[in-house]
Amino acid sequence: MSNGAFALKRAGFGVTARRDAWWIQPLVTFAVFSAFIVYSTWAGMQGEYYHFGPYLSPFYSPELFGESPHRWIDAVKPTWWPAWMLWSPAFFVVPFPIGFRLTCYYYRGAYYKAFWADPPNCAVGEPRKGYLGENAFPLILQNLHRYFLIPALALIAILAYDAWVALWFKNATTGVYEFGLGVGSIVLALNAFLLGGYTLGCHSLRHLVGGGLDRMSESPARMVSWRCVSCLNNRHMRWAWFSLVWVGFTDLYVRLCAMGIWTDWRII
């Protein structure tokens, strides 16, 4: 159907009759997402200052290879890693949460607005006429979000374990690990909690646990799971924002402690 006769049709880029500050939302999204991308890329490529005492940066967890006591395999890096190529233990971790967030339904809507202006905001004119949506490559790959969910769920378990480990401090004199609580322990625990709230409220998870059924009452366990996921899903955007900011801050906290710039205060 063509609406060409309608004189008000097809406003130019940014043209709108809206009176509110519609540009603030995409601008803030653009600024925060860009800052996170720049910081996380930089931090992930450093390969140092990513652990401090019992704390391990979430960008480096699980540390499959590495130099810290948290590493899973007793080697600094894989033997097959090309000598000329930059190495960081984060290279085995970061692609999974990045893939999960990039394909997340909330983030998709947010970055299509903020980075592609498609549209810049509701009822605001767009810069392009052509539009393929998520029907063609590469955006058709967004449909694989559920496959990024699997490592994301595993990461939650690993980060929860890291938060537990962050409660056990090595006694410098006896060498025995003793229970304790530092500010960093709280930072890591909160990180696992926020990432858990974000991941467990995932739209794909909601579908997989029960949303795909029309008669959920015949599968009571799936219905309960669907309700639990739906409960978190109601606030998916908030979980997404808080967890994004906090995971960046957690890395920064561990990094600055490891660099000796910040002091990790012990509470217990």
Residues that bind other proteins (CB under 8 A): 1-3, 5-11, 16-20, 105-106, 108-109, 112-113, 118-119, 122-123, 125-126, 129-135, 139-140, 143-144, 146, 203-204, 206-207, 211-212, 214-217, 223, 233-234, 236
Shortest distance (Å) from residue 139 CB to other proteins: 8
| Shorter beta-carbon distance to other proteins: residue 58 or 99 | 99
Q: Give the contacts of 154 (CB within 8 A, at least 6 positions apart).
A: none
Shortest distance (Å) from residue 213 CB to other proteins: 9
The answer to whether 117 and 13 are in contact (CB under 8 A) is yes
Interior/surface letters 156-185, b for 16+ CB within 10 angstroms, e for the rest: bebbbebbebbbebeeeeeeeeeebebebb
| Shorter beta-carbon distance to other proteins: residue 18 or 266 | 18
| Shorter beta-carbon distance to other proteins: residue 171 or 234 | 234
| Shorter beta-carbon distance to other proteins: residue 9 or 265 | 9
| Shorter beta-carbon distance to other proteins: residue 236 or 255 | 236
Q: How far apart, in whole angstroms, are the C-alpha atoms of residue 254 and residue 268?
A: 18
Shortest distance (Å) from residue 105 CB to other proteins: 5
| Shorter beta-carbon distance to other proteins: residue 125 or 151 | 125
Element (H, E) at 169: strand 168-170
Shortest distance (Å) from residue 226 CB to other proteins: 9
The answer to whether 243 and 152 are in contact (CB under 8 A) is no
Shortest distance (Å) from residue 198 CB to other proteins: 15
The answer to whether 206 and 230 are in contact (CB under 8 A) is yes
182 secondary structure, DSSP code: B
Shortest distance (Å) from residue 152 CB to other proteins: 16
The answer to whether 191 and 247 are in contact (CB under 8 A) is yes
